Amino acid sequence: QVQLVQSGAEVKKPGASLKVSCKAFGYTLTTYYTHWVRQAPGQGLEWMGIINPSGISRTYAQKFEGRVTMSRDTSTSTVYMELTSLTSEDTAIYYCAREAAAQDEGLDVWGQGTTVTVSS
């Protein structure tokens, strides 16, 4: 069964760093792009960035440039999203999602989401 399974909920202090994992089942990670999208409380969906199938190329939303790093471990079929210098505004549900290599079919499989709370 094709699915993305994310790591569990996190509580972080302001200024700390966060690393969320997203493990792929039922398909080959190296044939799909992986996106990260977040939703803050009461807000809409916000696109954060993407890592390409080879894991070599990444594109980040300008808002997160310098604070976010997306990486991939093909041996475990896992993609990671690391976010540094956390503030309360980073409190959100973080989702990973896959996109086919042709990039013309939308984000068809999503992880279950990881709830992140940033609080002192």
Partner 1 sequence: EIVMTQSPATLSVSPGERATLSCRASQSVGSNLAWYQHKPGQAPRLVIYEASTRATSVAARFSGSGSATDFTLTISSLQSEDFAIYYCQQYHKWPRTFGQGTKLEIK
Residues at the contact surface with partner 1, assessed by CB under 8 A: 35, 37, 44-47, 50, 59, 61-62, 95, 97, 99, 103-108, 110-113
Nearest approach, Cβ of residue 88 and partner 1 (Å): 21
For residues 116 and 48, give the distance between their C-alpha atoms in angstroms, rounded to a whole number: 15
Select 64 or 80, whichever has its Cβ closest to partner 1: 64
Residue 70 corresponds to which tokens in the numbers above? 């997306």
Give the Cα separation of 39 and 33 in Å (integer): 20
CB of 47 to partner 1, least distance (A): 4
CB of 43 vs partner 1, minimal distance in Å? 9
SS3 30: helix
φ, ψ for residue 83 (rounded to 5)?
A: -130, 125
Q: Which is nearer to partner 1, 5 or 15 (CB)?
A: 5
Residues facing residue 100 across a β-bridge: 32
Q: Tell me the closest approach of the beta carbon of residue 96 to partner 1, in angstroms.
A: 10
Please list the helix, strand and coil fractions of the chain in percent, rounded to the nearest 5, in that order: 10, 55, 40
Residue 8 vs 106, nearer CB to partner 1: 106
Looking at the Cβ atoms of 16 and 107, the one nearer to partner 1 is: 107
